[in-house]
Structure 1
Amino acid sequence: MKKVAVFGNTGGGKSTLSKRLSQITGLPLHVLDNIQYQSGGTEVPHEDYKRAHKQILVTDQWIIDGFGCMETLWQRLDEADTLIFVDLPLYVHFWWVTKRFITGYFQPPEGWPENSPILKSSLTSYRVLWLCHKYLTPKYREYIKQAQSTKVVYHIRSTKEISQFFKSIEQEVNFKGEE
């Protein structure tokens, strides 16, 4: 595990998962929202985002959390040696977007740029939820099915599987530390 892409629908806990995975493995974490958006939620020029994304891809190790754009998404998934697809039931994503919306007024959401507009970003997340579920999630599922022969794939389908995922990663890291 050297190049890890964490992806899936909005509100699935990808940022929290990515941060913890980075802490366990020591791999550098790159949160695409922090590369694609400035403080306050202003989008950086698209070419600047793509250039920064490309610079990350050519490094030896990374965890990349987020969507970015369709063009960089597929580049990243192709370049990764490990795919972590967070594919929870739609109602869980909806609930976690709602929870992030409510708690975001008291504590900034994990992985979001500073001073992000909570209301506007949450409304966008609600709109994206259904669109991603209907159009992109089936493509993700097909992609990981094909990629299983050449990459390590974790297809996380429940909140219980998130904790099981971390147990297996911690065991793997501890085992390699003993070698």
Structure 2
Amino acid sequence: MKRINVIGTSGSGKSHFSRRLAQKLDFPCIEMDAVFWLPNWEHLDTEDFLLKLQSLLEQEAWVLDGNQSKTNTLKWQYVDTIVWLDYSFFHTFKQILVRSFKRSWSKQEIWEGTGNTESFRRNFFSSESVIVWMLQNYWKTKRKYAKLFASELANSVRLVRIKSPKQAELFLANA
């Protein structure tokens, strides 16, 4: 277990879990959103994003936090383990609400050097809301990853499905 991709729907806690796992294993943690997002909520175009991501994935070991389907072909050439945080809808919804409120209140920069912060307007009253995104994509993401875990990829990659915070803690303790 040297190249690990942590996946899951928005709000599942991928970044938090990935940082903890990377720290435990003493591996670099690569947060795909931190690579993707530029200042003022602009983002890299797909080609530049994939080139930058590829250079990071060529490292010997890492924990990669992120989904972005357009990266699957690239990242899964390197990955040896995929960890799916597959928490219940209600748990995930609660987490994303709490996170969105805290980030809106604190105005803390999300990805260093971008100046990007969240606001109550963006999180609760906008079509760009991560909460709306989670609500629209939770079940679709769940079906997509269930298919993935039943695919031939299981023959070449270790697949770990974590369905509760308790299972996540156990996995981290034994990593």
The TM-score by the shorter chain falls in which range?
Answer: 0.7 to 0.9
Does the CA-based 8 Å contact 1:40-1:117 persist in structure 2?
no
Q: Which one-letter code corresponds to 1:73 in the other structure?
A: N
Tell me the matched-pair count: 167
Q: Could you tell me how far 1:38 is from its partner in structure 2?
A: 1.8
**Residues 57, 121 of structure 1: alpha-carbon distance in 2 compared, 3 angstrom cutoff:** farther
Q: Match of 2:174?
A: 168
TM (norm. structure 1) is 0.82
The partner residue of 2:165 within 141, 159, 168 is 159
76-85 or 37-46: bigger deviation: 37-46
Gap regions ≥5 residues in structure 2: none
1:124 counterpart = 2:123: no
Q: Which one-letter code corresponds to 2:95 in the other structure?
A: W
Q: Could you tell me how far 1:158 is from its partner in structure 2?
A: 1.0
Q: Could you tell me how far 1:121 is from its partner in structure 2?
A: 5.5
**Residues 75, 138 of structure 1: alpha-carbon distance in 2 compared, 3 angstrom cutoff:** farther
Q: Which one-letter code corresponds to 1:75 in the other structure?
A: L
Q: Could you tell me how far 1:75 is from its partner in structure 2?
A: 3.0
Q: Could you tell me how far 1:74 is from its partner in structure 2?
A: 4.2
Q: Match of 2:69?
A: 70
Gap regions ≥5 residues in structure 1: 170-179
Distance 1:74 1:136 in 2: 17
TM (norm. structure 2) is 0.84
56-65 or 88-97: bigger deviation: 56-65
Distance 1:73 1:41 in 2: 23
Q: For residues 111-149 of structure 1, what are the alpha-carbon distances to aligned partners after superposition, in whole Å with 9 as ceiling and x for unaligned? A: 645532313257531222133223232121121233333
Q: For residues 67-102 of structure 1, what are the alpha-carbon distances to aligned partners after superposition, in whole Å with 9 as ceiling and x for unaligned? A: 2x3220343235310111011001111111111111
Two-structure CA RMSD over aligned residues (Å): 2.1
Distance 1:155 1:44 in 2: 30
Distance 1:103 1:76 in 2: 31
Does the CA-based 8 Å contact 2:107-2:117 persist in structure 1?
no
Large movers: runs of 4+ above 6 Å: none
Counterpart of 1:64 in 2: which secondary structure? Answer: strand
**Residues 121, 112 of structure 1: alpha-carbon distance in 2 compared, 3 angstrom cutoff:** farther
Q: Match of 2:87?
A: 88
Distance 1:145 1:108 in 2: 39
Counterpart of 1:34 in 2: which secondary structure? Answer: helix
14-23 or 129-138: bigger deviation: 129-138
Q: Match of 1:15?
A: 15
1:6 counterpart = 2:17: no
Q: Match of 2:55?
A: 55
Distance 1:140 1:75 in 2: 17
